[in-house]
Amino acid sequence: MSGTENQMTGAEIVLQALRDNGVEHIFGYPGGAVLPIYDEIHQQDDIQHILVRHEQGAGHMAEGYARSTGKVGVMLVTSGPGATNAVTPLQDALMDSIPLVCISGQVPTPLIGSDAFQECDTVGITRPCTKHNWLVKDVNDLARIIHEAFRIAQSGRPGPVVVDIPKDVQFATGTYTPPSAVPTQKSYQPKKQGDLKKIEEAVELMRNARQPIIYSGGGVINSGPEASHLLRELVELTGFPITSTLMGLGAYPASGKAWLGMLGMHGTYEANMAMHDCDVMVCIGARFDDRITGRLNAFSPNSKKIHIDIDPSSINKNVRVDVPILGDVGTVLEDMVRLWRAASKSADKTRLSDWWETITKWRARNSLAYAPNDDVIMPQYAIQRLYELSKGRDTYITTEVGQHQMWAAQFFGFEQPNRWMTSGGLGTMGYGFPAAIGVQVAHPNSLVVDIAGDASIQMCIQEMSCAVQYGLPVKIFILNNQYMGMVRQWQQLLHGNRLSHSYTEAMPDFVKLAEAYGGVGIRCEKPSELDAAIRQMIDTPAPVIFDCRVANLANCFPMIPSGKAHNEMLLPDEATDEAVANAIDAKGRQLV
Amino acid sequence: MNAHLQPTGSAYFIAKETELAETHTLSVLVDNEPGVLARVIGLFSGRGYNIESLTVSETEHEAHLSRITIVTRGTPHVLDQIKNQLERLVPVHRVVDLTVRAAGLGHDRPIERELALVKVHGSGDHRVEALRLADAFRASVIDANIDHFVFEITGKPSKIEQFIAIMKPLGLIEVCRTGIAAMNRGPQGM
């Protein structure tokens, strides 16, 4: 490998480096500063480029692609506005730990700093919203940097990275270095193996627990399918109840007998009560986010806490834990399962029977109940029907952000990991539809549904054009209540029901909109017609916008109001207008 | 208006901080690459941590490693977070809390030194007094004219503070300080 053989232009190096890192699809939008790369894309067939309609869409597509495959998602944008439009998905990927490589064009090196056309300080702007970023000033560094970018994006706690490539570097000729020839960086070496002593300590705590709970998160899914498998094995062996964060749904099957449902602000009564009253909490790949903990000084006051996480800065950040275990969830669970098996001969499962009895009582509270209605479609009912009618299919669900997202998490049962894509940390409206397109690109024959709200969907609706262009039969299932439902619910809770700007007075005709883009539009207004309409949507081999007209003023319950503890939930049957109006006190109103 | 809420806190109430803030000196070994200082500083401002002093220079030329010395103030919990967050940055090789290390070694604190340039303008008695005090503080004269001195002084920050305070009535014009350079006592490296 010497001489002219591996001499290439910067643009050729980009394509070769992508191929050598196993990339098959990239999501992007051309522009002046990336034209040389687009010229290379045009002259090859190994990597398929998906042309988006807005760079934000490219980022969320790459995220959906990454989350549903476990691979790194790749996006390609031009300088200036191309890069600034990528900021939202980059921050989204950072908060939800999604491996993403964003390649951006930059003005030629001699023009950097001159306020050139479409110039922005991309590495400066993206520094706080990436794991790491690079400005490549020498074509001979380009291959090494791209290989490093892929390594950093997917190792340790995954996340987004940006490689900013000036246009003259794309034209310049330099040496291509294959991934195997690049020495790995010395500084960033995340630890996978957990400290065995700590794991032993954790197993000892778990063996003596009388009211234990497993609280799992997105880290289990990021760690790979084997981690989910081991989690199921651990639950089976220990007989512990398990709950999960929004990001962790699917790691343990919703049909499993130890499943308590999601926890947190809109989690089930049994999950939150069990978290509050437990004596040993095993947190696996979750980060004690504020939507989970409620009031921190009342969070699970009497428990010993075990925390498995690959990111040292997640440990003891919000909640102080007793047994921190630093390492990859899959690797640590393997040790934990092995140690449990070795030690469990004397463990007595009957010691948990009182705890399960209590949990059964909480379950009987039926905290997800809602009043059924024959005239209007209840949003919860719509999700339940979608779930029932898509059973047995190879289904992937994405969501936007708001009430529909919480209802989807509550009422759609996930049996497998990597089937549920939602913006948890950043809460990005507009995430779900492009994410669904990314999922569909990776799984062309699967049923991919974006459960959306009427407000969120309008934030990235332009990608309908992309879905139609590539024949991607993504289904958009809009729970249309004419409101920004979650905003309206909070205004009702916090601001005396003064609905400031949360009602959409000029709603587009979603059926006509679908048709205008070349897709299919379906509208459903009656519960009695819902099943047939959903079946029609599933059977349509094209992008569909499903305008599901639901009850306008339904609230999402149960809910832990701001500033309250897990055992102070607002349950649907207690949520009278008066209770809702007084649920949050003056101090709580200052919180988000 | 929300000043009573914790700055880096969650959306929910945070238990009242009962720990007291401490001043610690951190040593951070980083790759000397473009933007590395911006990453470190951005982390402090983005997460609401304090920087009281910051010193940086390449210390190992062949390996392109720089050593950043940061003096920061926070509760033990926040200081722990700062260390963990710094270690997460890709170009960061090592982070050592020199203050914690010093305590572990049985010392009061790490060795901390600073250099300052102090310009004083004056004549007559003031001028004589300034020179006499500079001598007492072991500050050296590195530039002088008939009506001014520039002193160079090194030492603990407290000594420099004291020297500057004394020079104030004697015609202090300007001060430039390097920030703290620090390491632990004893034979071991960081």
Q: What is the pLDDT of residue A346?
A: 58
Q: What is the pLDDT of residue A493?
A: 86
- Mean pLDDT, chain B, whole residue set: 91
Q: pLDDT grade, residue A579 (50/70/90)?
A: confident
What is the mean predicted confidence (pLDDT) over A560-575? 83
Residue A2 pLDDT > 60, yes or no?
A: no
Least CB-CB distance to A296: which of B10, B38, B90? B10
Residue in A60, A38, A33 with CA at minimum distance from that of residue A49 = A38
Q: What is the pLDDT of residue A592?
A: 65
Residue A229 pLDDT > 70, yes or no?
A: yes
Q: pLDDT grade, residue B56 (50/70/90)?
A: very high
- Any CB–CB contact under 8 A between B91 and chain A? yes
Ramachandran region, residue B104 (left: φ > 0; alpha: ψ -120 to 50; beta: rest)? alpha
Are A592 and B11 a contacting pair at CB < 8 A? yes
Are A587 and B13 a contacting pair at CB < 8 A? yes
- Contact (Cβ atoms closer than 8 angstroms) between residue A424 and residue A245: yes
Q: pLDDT grade, residue B181 (50/70/90)?
A: very high
- Any CB–CB contact under 8 A between B14 and chain A? yes
The residue in chain B having the minimum alpha-carbon distance to the alpha carbon of residue A121 is: B35
Has A412 been annotated as catalytic? no
Chain A residues with CB under 8 Å of a chain B CB are 123-124, 127-128, 131-132, 135, 152, 185-188, 289-291, 293-297, 311-313, 315-318, 320, 562-563, 587, 590-592
Helix or strand or coil: residue A368? Answer: coil
Integer angstrom CA distances of residue B7 from A238, A318, B10: 40, 13, 9
Residue B17 pLDDT > 90, yes or no?
A: no
Q: What is the pLDDT of residue A566?
A: 85
Q: What is the pLDDT of residue A169?
A: 98
What does the block give as tokens for A304? 């010993």
Write the DSSP symbol of residue A550. B
Has A55 been annotated as catalytic? yes
Residue A372 burial (C-beta neighbours within 10 Å; 0-12, 13-18, 19+): exposed
Residue A196 pLDDT > 80, yes or no?
A: yes
Q: What is the pLDDT of residue B12?
A: 44
C-alpha span between B149 and A131 (Å, rounded): 49
A90 or A564, higher pLDDT: A90
Are A293 and B12 a contacting pair at CB < 8 A? yes
Are A127 and B2 a contacting pair at CB < 8 A? no
Report the complex ipTM.
Answer: 0.87
What is the mean predicted confidence (pLDDT) over A429-454? 98
- Any CB–CB contact under 8 A between B11 and chain A? yes
Are B12 and A152 a contacting pair at CB < 8 A? no
Least CB-CB distance to A186: which of B77, B87, B93? B93
Contact residues for B120 (Cβ-Cβ < 8 A; gap 6+): B130, B148, B149, B150, B151, B167, B170, B171, B172, B173
For residue B93, the chain A residues in CB contact (below 8 A) are 186-187
Q: What is the pLDDT of residue A252?
A: 98
The size of the A-B interface in CB pairs under 8 A is 72
Has A117 been annotated as catalytic? yes
Has A5 been annotated as catalytic? no
* H or E element in which residue A286 lies: none
Residue B8 pLDDT > 50, yes or no?
A: no
What is the mean predicted confidence (pLDDT) over A22-50? 98
What are A287-320's pLDDT values in tens digits? Answer: 999 888 888 888 999 999 999 999 999 999 999 9
For residue A317, the chain B residues in CB contact (below 8 A) are 81
pTM over 0.90: yes
Which residues, numbered 22 to 41 in chain B, qualify as contacts with chain A under a Cβ-Cβ cut-off of 8 Å?
30-31, 34-35, 38-39
Has A486 been annotated as catalytic? yes
Q: pLDDT grade, residue B5 (50/70/90)?
A: very low
- Contact (Cβ atoms closer than 8 angstroms) between residue A397 and residue A412: yes
What are A313-334's pLDDT values in tens digits? Answer: 999 999 999 999 999 999 999 9
Residue B9 pLDDT > 70, yes or no?
A: no
Q: pLDDT grade, residue B118 (50/70/90)?
A: very high
What are A96-106's pLDDT values in tens digits? Answer: 999 999 999 99
